Amino acid sequence: MTNQRDKETKMYIYVADVVSVVWNKDRAEVLKRLRGKKSRQKLVEEIVAQGGECSHQNLKKLEYGESESVSIKVLDAICSAL
């Protein structure tokens, strides 16, 4: 049995050439799981402390899968804080 993931085309490009990434409910769930018990506000404070940008409202929209995309800049800031 072949799953959908096996049929996806993969391409390697420079991250610097990417402006945003498509966001979906699956990615939202991963973000929630990675945040764990840390409050959204605490994560936002850590992002800002590292010089990143992400509001509490934006983080909430990402976690609820309400955003269609996320900028690489914001995604990088979230990943660095996590």
Q: Give the pair of three-digit tokens for residue 31.
A: 């973000």
Number of domains within the chain: 1
Does residue 5 belong to any structural domain of this protein? no
B/e letters for 26-36, b = 16+ CB within 10 Å, e = fewer, are ebbeebeeebe
Does residue 22 belong to any structural domain of this protein? yes
Q: What is the per-residue pLDDT for 4? A: 60
Domain residue limits at 29: 18-81
Q: Which residue has better confidence, 1 or 58?
A: 58
Asked if residue 5 has pLDDT above 70, the reply is: no
Task: Give the pLDDT confidence of 47-65 residue by residue, as tens digits.
Answer: 999 999 999 999 999 999 9
Which of these, 55, 57, 69, 80, lies nearest to 27 by C-alpha position?
A: 69
Does residue 9 belong to any structural domain of this protein? no
Does residue 10 belong to any structural domain of this protein? no
Whole-model pTM over 0.85: no
Q: pLDDT band at residue 2, thresholds of 50, 70 and 90?
A: low
Contact predicate 63/28, CB 8 Å: yes
